């Protein structure tokens, strides 16, 4: 019996990560490419090559390039939603414990968000590419950004209703904190001193919150 031989891979194509589902491998590769170059500059063939699969496999798992782009945002949204929802629920339970407890809970909520983006800088890069053209793909904001903005804005509104703090424009506060954190992640990517920058940014955000809502007692 002739010896069985394995088919050769095409030269230059990376070996696919067999430990993860193919769709996840494709989305990881596509997210990195879209974050680096934007929507127009990325083709499905490039995504396939980066993922170590063929174009038909990419199309099978994600459909058109527009659908793939949407799926990349849906993926990072789902991960962010999970961590922020848990942190927001913990903060909400602290509202009845008084202003100091509420403000400490806000510190912890912001720290969770900062940790998330520091660990996943491609999320910031993906959104910044999208926001370079504010009127284009605006539906992505409605699906994958606005729900999280509302989650935190509603928490601030609830805290104000209990008397824990005074917040007349929660949507502005949330948007400002989000943009500040994205800017921090960009600074890290540009080579800002890592550990020191991370400590100093957290301290800044805590001071900002304390300035807005009063300093919690130690």
Burial of 87: CB neighbours in 10 Å, binned 0-12, 13-18, 19+: buried
Give the model's pLDDT for residue 214. Answer: 85
Query: 181, 213, 175, 163: which is closest to 110 by C-alpha?
Result: 181
DSSP 15: P
Gyration radius of the chain's alpha carbons: 21
What does the pLDDT read at residue 40? 95
- How many whole angstroms from its chain centre is CA 172? 19
What's the pLDDT at 15?
Answer: 56
Phi and psi based region of residue 119 (left: phi greater than 0; alpha: psi -120 to 50; beta: remaining): alpha
Determine the 3-state secondary structure of 17 from DSSP: coil
User: Greatest CA separation found in the chain?
Assistant: 82
Q: How far apart are CA 91 and CA 107, in angstroms?
A: 9
Query: What distance in Å separates the CA atoms of residue 49 and residue 54, rounded to the nearest whole number?
Result: 7
Task: Count CB atoms within 10 A of the CB of residue 123.
Answer: 22
CA distance 100 to 74: 35
Report the helix count and the strand count for the chain, using DSSP H and E.
Answer: 10, 0
Level-2 CATH architecture, domain 73-213:
Orthogonal Bundle (1.10)
Fill in the DSSP letter of residue 191.
Answer: T
Q: Domains of the chain: which residue ranges?
A: 13-63, 73-213
> Would 13-63 and 73-213 be classified into the same CATH topology?
no
In the chain, which stretches have pLDDT less than 70? 1-19, 216-218
Provide the pLDDT for residue 218: 54
Cβ partners under 8 Å of residue 177, min gap 6: 110, 113, 205, 208
CATH number of 13-63: 1.10.10.60
């Amino acid at each position: 019996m002739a010896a069985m031989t394995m088919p050769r891979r095409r030269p230059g194509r990376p070996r696919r990560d067999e430990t993860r589902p193919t769709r996840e491998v494709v989305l990881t590769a596509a997210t990195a490419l879209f974050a680096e170059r934007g929507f127009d500059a990325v083709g499905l063939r490039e995504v396939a090559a980066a993922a170590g699969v063929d174009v038909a496999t990419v199309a099978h798992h994600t459909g058109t390039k527009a659908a793939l782009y949407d799926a990349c945002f849906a993926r990072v949204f789902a991960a962010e939603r999970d961590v922020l929802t848990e942190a927001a629920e913990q903060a909400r339970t602290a509202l009845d414990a008084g202003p100091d407890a509420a403000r400490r809970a806000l510190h912890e909520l912001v720290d969770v968000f900062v940790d998330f983006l520091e660990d996943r800088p491609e999320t910031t890069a993906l959104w910044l590419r999208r926001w370079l053209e504010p009127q284009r793909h605006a539906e992505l904001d409605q699906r994958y950004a606005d729900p999280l903005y509302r989650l935190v804005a509603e928490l601030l509104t609830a805290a104000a209703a209990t008397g824990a703090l005074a917040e007349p424009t929660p949507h502005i506060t949330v948007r400002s904190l989000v943009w500040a954190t994205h800017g921090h992640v960009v600074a890290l990517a540009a080579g800002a001193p890592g550990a020191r920058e991370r400590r100093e940014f957290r301290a800044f955000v805590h001071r900002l919150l304390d300035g807005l809502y009063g300093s919690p007692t130690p």
